[in-house]
A = this chain, B = another copy of it.
Amino acid sequence: MARATTPTRPPGRPRSGVDDVVFAATLRTVHELGYARATVDRIAAAAGIAKTTIYRRWPSKGALITACLVDAFGPAPLTGATREEILASAIRWAAAKIGEPGIGAAFAGVFTDAVSDPALRRILATELQDPYRLALQEALGEPEHRVLFFIDVVVGSLLHRMGMTGEPMIDDDVDALVDMVLRVLDRT
């Protein structure tokens, strides 16, 4: 997610474009060592840069992980002809992403940190959740509180499974999740 080169480049040495390297190193480290043992020192070492460089770009470990997740999730692929198809594809997409190596553990980790950290909670809500929430409100024509409920159910279920078992939710249960939420959507 390189910053667009503005016509008026600011003075001084430009930042090296190592964001993607750091993100990859972050997910790899979290995947291999778990969230708690994935210290900023270790992530920096895995990325081959200095720890201070990380703190020059992201103000905290939580912010780093959040930025990493925003990058990893990317834009919402809301595909489908009907509202049902759109919501179903979004749920399957979320399940697949959270199941990728490192992403689920990183997500559960920041989520946990956010519980006791209102500032991080705001970052998480604004940077990560809001884009998908707004896109879903638009695509489904549903009010905010209803989309928030869907997100609580889907993301909460996926993270709870990941947190309690250390493994992503199996496909059969993702199917059940899709069926369950679609049934709620239908009953408008």
A114 proximal to B (CB < 8 A): yes
Interface, chain A (partner B; CB < 8 A): 34-37, 105, 108-109, 111-118, 121, 124-125, 129, 145, 149, 151-153, 155-164, 166, 169, 173, 176-177, 179-181, 183-184
Docked-complex contact B152 and A116, CB < 8 angstroms? no
Chain B residues within 8 Å of A149, by CB: 173, 176
22 A-B pairs with CB atoms under 8 Å apart are A35-B115, A35-B116, A105-B116, A108-B115, A109-B112, A109-B115, A112-B112, A114-B164, A115-B166, A118-B166, A125-B164, A145-B173, A151-B160, A152-B161, A153-B157, A153-B180, A156-B160, A157-B157, A176-B184, A179-B184, A180-B181, A183-B184
- Distance of A136 from chain B, by nearest CB (Å): 15
Bound CA–CA A83/B118 (angstroms): 40
Chain B residues within 8 Å of A156, by CB: 153, 155-161
- Distance of A114 from chain B, by nearest CB (Å): 6
